[in-house]
């Protein structure tokens, strides 16, 4: 049986042009750079990718383009969760047809205080709508943003109904006790848990986590990979403390604009500062503060890498 994708996965940043279209060449070059510099795989159109700022057509096109230029679909998990069930089905079915390793799917997040029964029916309808045994579905638990969340009872019910299809979860609750509970409760189901907070990576790996999916992976993948590969070694604890300090520094600023500002600086490329509204780029004064705090935290600035030409 083929192992599901695990390790250090980046919800890859999406470059946008000055008029807010996806800049495909820069984005795909970034995908390649991540895969060559510490990432075992990517999430295309995760939160850090500004997924819900882009249309179904834009998301389909970029995924097809990525695979067409030689990026291995088996290294990609695609964010496919939308409020519209039809859109979620279309994007998830497309990811399967392209040959991707899986789909990372938010709960429908517009209506609040929805019941577990309603969420269960949504996911039943999604999986039956895709109707493909190749589907590998990862639940995306991010209550600070979505508000709507996956209860432990709902997770267990979905695993029981669709074993081998509902195969994992990204836990971006920011609550270590919750992440720990997921790993301990569902590990027996061969269910992969990825913390979304890289500060917990070492502790999660010690319990049997599959790796992590973290926005900061766009700029610290090599440090996270060292922890992943050598988590039993004492150096992993030192590296984990560095990662925690860097996270604390970065999260004093809006995360996506801050990450893009770091890439912009290291590549000497102002286009990378761009975000799609309603987000706004980091102001220069903010970046100077961020840079000082990152340096003080011991941040290892990524190697300057030009945007690679995409055929």
pLDDT digits (tens, 9 = 90+) for 151-193: 999 999 999 999 999 999 999 999 999 999 999 999 877 899 9
Instruction: Give the model's pLDDT for residue 187.
Output: 81
Instruction: Give the model's pLDDT for residue 199.
Output: 96
**In the chain, domain spans:** 7-229
Instruction: Give the model's pLDDT for residue 304.
Output: 64
Residue 2 has pLDDT above 70, yes or no: no
- The CA distance from 206 to 212, in Å, is 13
Assign 12 a pLDDT band (cuts: 50, 70, 90). Answer: very high
- The CA distance from 294 to 216, in Å, is 12
Assign 302 a pLDDT band (cuts: 50, 70, 90). Answer: confident
Cα→Cα distances 212→141, 172, 216, Å: 13, 10, 11
Q: What is the mean pLDDT of residues 49-58?
A: 98
- The CA distance from 250 to 93, in Å, is 35
The CATH number that domain 7-229 falls under is: 3.20.20.70
Nearest CA to 262 among 226, 223, 305?
A: 305
- % of residues, the chain, pLDDT over 90: 95
Assign 310 a pLDDT band (cuts: 50, 70, 90). Answer: low
Instruction: Give the model's pLDDT for residue 163.
Output: 96
Instruction: Give the model's pLDDT for residue 174.
Output: 93
Instruction: Give the model's pLDDT for residue 213.
Output: 98
């Amino acid at each position: 049986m083929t192992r599901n994708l695990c390790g250090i996965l980046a919800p890859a940043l999406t470059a946008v042009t000055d008029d807010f279209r996806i800049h495909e060449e820069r984005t795909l070059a970034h995908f390649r750079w991540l895969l060559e510099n510490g990432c075992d795989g990517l999430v295309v159109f995760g939160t850090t990718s500004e997924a819900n700022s882009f249309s179904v057509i834009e998301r389909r096109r970029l995924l097809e383009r990525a695979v067409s230029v030689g990026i291995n679909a088996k290294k990609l998990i695609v964010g496919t969760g939308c409020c519209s069930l039809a859109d979620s089905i279309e994007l998830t079915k497309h990811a399967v047809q392209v040959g991707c390793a899986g789909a990372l799917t938010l709960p429908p997040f517009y209506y609040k205080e929805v019941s577990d029964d309603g969420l269960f029916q949504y996911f039943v309808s999604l999986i039956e709508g895709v109707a493909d045994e190749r589907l590998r579905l990862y639940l995306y638990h991010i209550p600070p943003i979505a508000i709507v969340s996956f209860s432990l009872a709902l997770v267990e019910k979905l695993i029981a109904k669709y074993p081998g299809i509902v195969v994992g979860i990204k836990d971006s609750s920011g609550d270590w006790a919750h992440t720990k509970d997921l790993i301990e409760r569902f590990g027996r189901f061969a269910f992969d848990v990825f913390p979304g907070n890289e500060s917990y990576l070492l502790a999660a790996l010690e319990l049997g986590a599959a790796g992590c999916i973290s926005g900061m992976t766009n700029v610290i993948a090599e440090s996270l990979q060292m922890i992943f590969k050598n988590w039993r070694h004492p150096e992993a604890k030192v590296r984990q403390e560095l990662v925690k300090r860097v996270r604390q520094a970065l999260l004093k600023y809006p995360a996506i604009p801050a990450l893009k500002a770091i890439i912009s600086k290291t590549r000497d490329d102002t286009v990378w500062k761009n975000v799609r509204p309603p987000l706004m780029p980091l102001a220069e004064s903010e970046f100077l503060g961020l840079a000082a705090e990152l340096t003080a935290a011991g941040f290892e600035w990524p190697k300057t890498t030009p945007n690679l030409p995409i055929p």
